[in-house]
Structure 1
Amino acid sequence: MIGFMRAFVRIVDPINRKLGRITMYGIFVMMGILMWSSISKIAFMPSLWTLEVAQFAMVAYYMLGGPYAIQEGANVRMDLFYGEWSTRRKAWFDAFTVLFLIFYLGVLLYGAIESTAYSLEYGERSPTAWRPYIWPIKITMCVGIFLMLLQAISELFKDIATLKGKTL
């Protein structure tokens, strides 16, 4: 079982690390879009697409950067007691709480897939003047949620290995 967990972690972690490091630069994409929006409002005719593209870029930034944040431990924790605990006790607590995250992400992924299928089937568009298709960002959300689910499972495997006195 440890061999399977080690292989899983060795596959999932590098994928999420590389994607997270690339996604990290998405902040500059969002800044460029919003800067163009500001410039176009002052100098030219305002662009219809900038606000929605910035929102889509932000969704992609958060959803594809989420697995990397989980991997790096950048998520928010209530450190009132946790910081003083032993490594083993932290692993027990993390292994227990990550099960709730896995359940939540599973339900979220199910809903995201249903919503994406609907969007693809009916050609769903945004109800704004620009009217872009919604399915590209919904697919991005599905990929991000799926990668977060894989990363949460990877973290569970790391906690189990820590409890068994091994490292992955």
Structure 2
Amino acid sequence: MTTLIGRKIGREVRKARLARKNMTQARLAERVGVTRETIYRLEGGRMATADVLGRVCDVLGIDRAKFKYDKPATDAFAHYPELTLLRDRRRKLGLRLDQCAVAAGVSVSTLSRFESGRESSRELARFDSGGRAVALISEGLAKILEFNDVEALDRYWRTGKEP
């Protein structure tokens, strides 16, 4: 999914990359520590995480403030900001999706879809009648993401503030 801001960022990244002699998508990806496909998608308008975009900016010499991009955004952020916080925290802690899925008692595909807002897992959250997650309930997920309890995880999920 592309967004207006995603396309703007993608154009700026592509312009900056092309301004650097011999900077291919593959070379940029290598220097940033991501796959070439990630750079391809970013330049095509898909939102990257703040971490990836920050590293791209550093490599290309782009001022991070130019994008006013200070949230841990992903391509799903515009629709499911609170769920993408879980993915960003997992990645920050260096945890793999499969490790968190086992701890939460769900499949890898369920957790992946939940992190991107495409899954209504009753093992991970309570939902309102409209299908929107209203509270996180997984003790295993709280523990592996290094929260003291489910309430601390839920508070982080609601506010984005570290415990």
User: Normalized against structure 1, the TM-score is what?
Assistant: 0.21
Question: Greater share of helix residues, 1 or 2?
Answer: 1
Instruction: Look at both structures and tell me which one has the larger radius of gyration over its CA atoms.
Output: 1
* Structure number with higher relative contact order (C-alpha < 8 Å, ≥ 6 residues apart): 1
